Structure 1
Amino acid sequence: MEVVKLLVVLALFVLSLHFITKIVKLRKNPKLNLPPGTSGWPIVGETFEFLRNSPEGTPSRFVEERMNKYDSRVFKTSLLGYHMAVFCGPAGNKFLFSNENKNVQVWWPSSVRKLIRQSLVNKVGDEAKLTKRLLLSFLNADALRNFLPKMDSIAQHHIRTHWEGKMQVHVYTIIQLYTFELACCLFLSFGNSSQVANLSSLFDVFLKGIFALSINFPGTRFHRAMKAADAIKKEIKMLLKKKKVDLEENRISPTKDLLSHLLVTSDTNGRFLTETEISDNILLLLFAGHDTSRSVLSSVMKYLGQLPEVYERVLKEQLEISQGKEEAELLHWEDVQKMKYTWNVVSEVMRLSPPVRGAYREAIKDFTYADYNIPKGWKLQWSTNASHKDPTLFSNPGNFDPSRFEGEGPTPFSYVPFGGGPRMCLGQEFARLEILVFMHNIVKSFKWDLVIPDEKFKYDPMLEPEKGLPIQLQPSHF
């Protein structure tokens, strides 16, 4: 315990030196017209205020209060020991998304950088473009449409195994079994349920430490996350070596899964990813490919339980798609394209309850935004809630209204659950398919009531229900 205290003190000391150095540099440039705001307390800045709103179920309050107090376009703060400018609204989103490698580049807290070291999140410039293009060659719509019947089969098996015959389930816990199995199938071709369950339990530990203070010492969240990440990557590398042999001996197809695809596909410069790069990127995609969807589906189940008229319209659309299909016939690509109202419902859920709060960038040179000076090295943040709840962009923003996404939809850069620009989530199409496939099957199988109608959702680090969202199931008869 004394050693842990010593390490915490040492970490705070290092942060204080970093903070003081930054303050001295800013004072050497008194003519800078910085965005309005406050740096808060020494060292910790406003980190505690920022983090406190998440478990309270009011993650947007931190940004909204400062937008109202300082400037609705951009304000300064200090988070995690860094000077930070928070960009707000469509104009702020557009600036950050369209200035990649010009004025800004991607940045993540040290815990993320250390846990997923050689993945796309830590690559910038041309290297990032090449890696993303390589991954997207497997994750684009044309490639994924071939996996749609398999997705439907997995969803049906999941519901038969884990939902049918149950009076009550905890949605957040049980849906992870579906989203993680689907990600493992698509990326690794894992078919062994015990392997999936083992990796899933490791991922729970990994996720809780991904945004923790990066003190790698026994007992800390970050240390546990590092051990879990190492164990996951060890499993991936063991599978990688086996697939190499299978590919060389033509026992499996290069398009069987993402891991096989990466082993045989080079980027446009003819370079193949190293084994470490492959395992780190698979780790990243397993994280991004299942946990955000788990969050979204949990929120969808909450809203459908609260809004029976919305549930009925979703059910009507899904039954119309099923009509005319032969018994046991799986979903086709054309079926998913007909799920327009259902996807509008999902979009409205993500507007009101985005699975992530936003993301970060770093200023790679001095620049001016909204008449303010942003110094090189400052960290920058964009927030989903800053625009999603803005009444000037969405009338009556607290109301649930899927019609907002009909026609041309929201104002550009106002709706950003997947980010935007070169750093837009590359798993967006995969997430759309796994969410719609699950909704198609679940609404045809059950109606449900919320056990805790006013249950709070918190970010830790993804949006999740405090009590796991328990629901009472009522089998449908169609």
Structure 2
Amino acid sequence: MVLTFLHLAILGLSLVFIIFFHRRKLSGFRLPPGNTGWPIIGETLEFAMNHRRGCPEKFVIDRMCKFSPEVFKTSLFGEKIVVFCGASGNKFLFTSHNKSVTSWWPPSMAKVWFFPENQENTVEVCNKMRSVLPEFLKPDALQDYIPVMDSMAKEQLETDWSPHKQVQVFSLSKKYTFASACKVFMNLIDPEQLTRLSNPFTHIVAGLISIPIKIPGTAFSRGVEGGKIAREELLAIIRQRKRELLENKELKSIDLLTRLLLASYENGETNDEKQIANKIIGLLVASHDTMSTALTCILNYLAEYPRVYEDVLHEQMEIAKSKNPGELLNWDDVKKMKYSWCVACEAMRLSPPVPGTFREAITDFTYAGFTIPKGWKAFWTTYSTNRNPKYFPDPEKFDPSRFEGRGPAPYSFVPFGGGPRMCPGKEYARLATLVFMHNVVTKFKWRKVNPDEKIIYNPTPTPENGLLIHLEIINS
């Protein structure tokens, strides 16, 4: 009994000394100013509520004004977070990878996204993914898929748009972007498989940015369940492809899934199915919500600004007139869509599909006169620059000319991140976006059924009712 008491006493004193010296160490630092909110919940509730009200930037801007325009601390998703602001903050985090910071995922996000056994080593999983994806996602590798995207866009517009006087853009753009990604990355076209795979993704995306409380009915709980369903469906697809490869069946094309499997064989990782599923699910999350959000916002702004629509139409019609009947788009055609891409960038500036990403400090370092201790989490955010008049004069104005010539100041517009951690799917997203814009504007004129439809963020920006538009066919 006495021995047990002594052990407990020693343990208790050890904890006291650890806490004391930790606090003493931190007291010698000039930590970033800010507020960490309530225990466990932190400021996540206010962060989420600003999204729901359609003003996510308010959370960031208010704290930049109150605490510091360069860096402040908060608490989100159960973690203390340092938010880096402005182009300088973006540049620092993007160029300091593996020097001061490394990639990091909140545990709550990892529970939604990854298999349970991968949730403790998400950085390793992501690094493995990036070691393979860039080669497949380079412009040279993607050029052959431009006609595929074009054909799929034409087919969807003919099937799901043309027969109707009114359509909901967000749901149909999700259908296009998800089906296109499944075709390009996995050569998956079976409607039943596509439906089974796509159904859980709405819950996954909502669960990624939610209060991490796993109670039935919460967004987080639905996200965890949706992730489980999607991963199991992907495993079934991967195992079927493995069987085809082992049986030496002739494949019509070498897509990303096949390349990942072949790479795993070459590296002797024959049981790498879950790692491959993690890689694919990341691309599908982006295609399901991020890309469809961008397309919806582009069409929303084109409806609001008829002169911009006419300029895009002129550029795209010149390309269409240069094609023979039935001839699909190619790489040279996409290179001519310069103004259309400026419009897409301006739409992403005002309605960013991705609010930012996380990092973790791997050493103590100083930024803007404040010390960020090792182990603290960091976050860069588009909301500190995209509507900031310091970088974009008259920031609420929709003006695609901002992106002509040299474009915005470096690191002020970073929809795909930057530095060595830039999104590997950037070029794929650009091609899929421009191909879809070409097909929509050369086939339809449209107007919003509700001109005052509110934009909400859940977590990406979308019109409250999915952008219902009235269609007029201009090219039968």
Which of 251, 256, 259 lines up with 1:258 in the alignment?
256
Quote the Cα distance in structure 2 between the aligned partners of 1:367 and 1:373. Answer: 6
Matches within 5 A, 1:156-235: 156-235=154-233
The residue type paired with residue 99 of structure 1 is: S
Cα gap change, 1:181/1:227 in structure 2, threshold over 3 Å: closer, same or farther? same
The change in CA–CA distance for 1:23 and 1:470 in structure 2 (over 3 A counts) is farther
SS of aligned partner of 2:394: coil
> Whole-Å Cα distance in 1 between the matches of residues 306 and 132 of structure 2?
43
User: For 2:27, what is the secondary structure of its paired residue?
Assistant: coil
User: Which moved further from structure 2: 457-466 or 335-344?
Assistant: 457-466
Q: How far off its partner does 1:348 sit?
A: 0.7
Structure 1 counterpart of 2:335, which letter?
Q
- Give the CA deviation at 1:231: 2.1
| Structure 2 residue aligned with 1:72 | 69
Letter of the structure 2 residue corresponding to residue 124 of structure 1? V
- 1:399 alignment partner in structure 2: 397
Match in the other structure for 2:324? 326
**Aligned alpha-carbon RMSD (Å):** 2.4
**Per-residue deviation, 1:211:** 2.5
Amino acid of the structure 1 residue aligned with 2:461:
L
**Structure 2 residue 356 is matched with structure 1 residue 358:** yes
Quote the residue 2:129 is aligned against.
131
The residue type equivalent to 1:225 in the other structure is: G
Change (3 A) 1:235 1:78: closer
CA contact (8 A) 2:48 2:210 kept: no
Which residue number corresponds to residue 3 of structure 1?
none
Shift of 1:390: 1.5
Indicate if the aligned counterparts of 1:447 and 1:475 stay in contact, CA closer than 8 A. yes
Q: Which protein shows a greater Rg? A: 2
Match of 1:10 in 2: none
Question: Alignment partner of 2:332: what SS?
Answer: helix
Rounded Cα–Cα distance in structure 2 between residues aligned with 1:176 and 1:131: 24
Measured in 2, the distance between the counterparts of 1:403 and 1:85 equals 33
Q: Deviations over 1:379-404 (max 9, x none)?
A: 11111021111112111111111111
Q: What is residue 104 of structure 1 aligned with on the other side? A: 101
Question: 2:424 & 2:367 partners in 1: Cα distance?
Answer: 28
Q: Could you report, residue by residue, the CA deviation over 1:375-434 in whole angstroms, capped at 9, with x for unpaired residues? A: 122111111021111112111111111111111111111101111122211111111111
Gaps of 5+ in 2: 1-17
2:77·2:212 contact (CA, 8 Å) conserved in 1?
A: no
Gap change, CA 1:47 and 1:227, over 3 Å in 2: closer
Q: Which residue of 2 aligns with 1:84?
A: 81
Normalising to structure 1: TM-score of the pair? 0.90
Tell me the secondary structure at the aligned position of residue 35 of structure 2. coil
Distance in 2, matches of 1:234 and 1:152, equals: 30
8 Å Cα contact 1:134-1:267 kept in structure 2? no
The SS at the match of 1:124 is helix
Equivalent position amino acid for 1:349 in 2: A
Q: Counterpart of 1:7?
A: none
Structure 1 pair 273/374, CA: closer, same or farther in 2 (3 Å)?
Answer: farther
The verdict on how the C-alpha distance between 1:232 and 1:82 changes in structure 2, with shifts beyond 3 A counting, is closer
In structure 2, the CA distance between the partners of 1:123 and 1:45, relative to structure 1 (3 Å rule), is closer
Query: Which stretch of the first structure deviates more once superposed, 227-236 or 443-452?
Result: 227-236
Task: Measure, in 2, the Cα distance between the counterparts of 1:400 and 1:41.
Answer: 38
Over 3 Å counting, the alpha-carbon distance change for 1:396 and 1:122 in structure 2 is farther
The one-letter amino acid paired with 2:352 is P
Which one-letter code corresponds to 1:359 in the other structure? Answer: T
1:316 aligns with 2:319: no
Q: 1:120 touches 1:281 (CA, 8 Å); kept in 2? A: no
What is the match of residue 444 of structure 2?
446
CA distance in 1, matches of 2:82, 2:459: 21
137-146 or 269-278: bigger deviation: 269-278
- Aligned partners of 2:402 and 2:314: how far apart in 1? 20
For residues 13-58 of structure 1, give each alpha carbon's deviation from its aligned partner in whole angstroms, at most 9, with x where no partner exists: xxxxxxxx99994465322111222233344332222222111111
Q: 1:415 to 1:270 in 2, by over 3 A?
A: farther
CA distance in 2, matches of 1:385, 1:403: 21
TM-aligned CA distance change 1:208 to 1:24, over 3 Å? farther
Name the stretch that deviates more: 279-288 or 238-247: 238-247
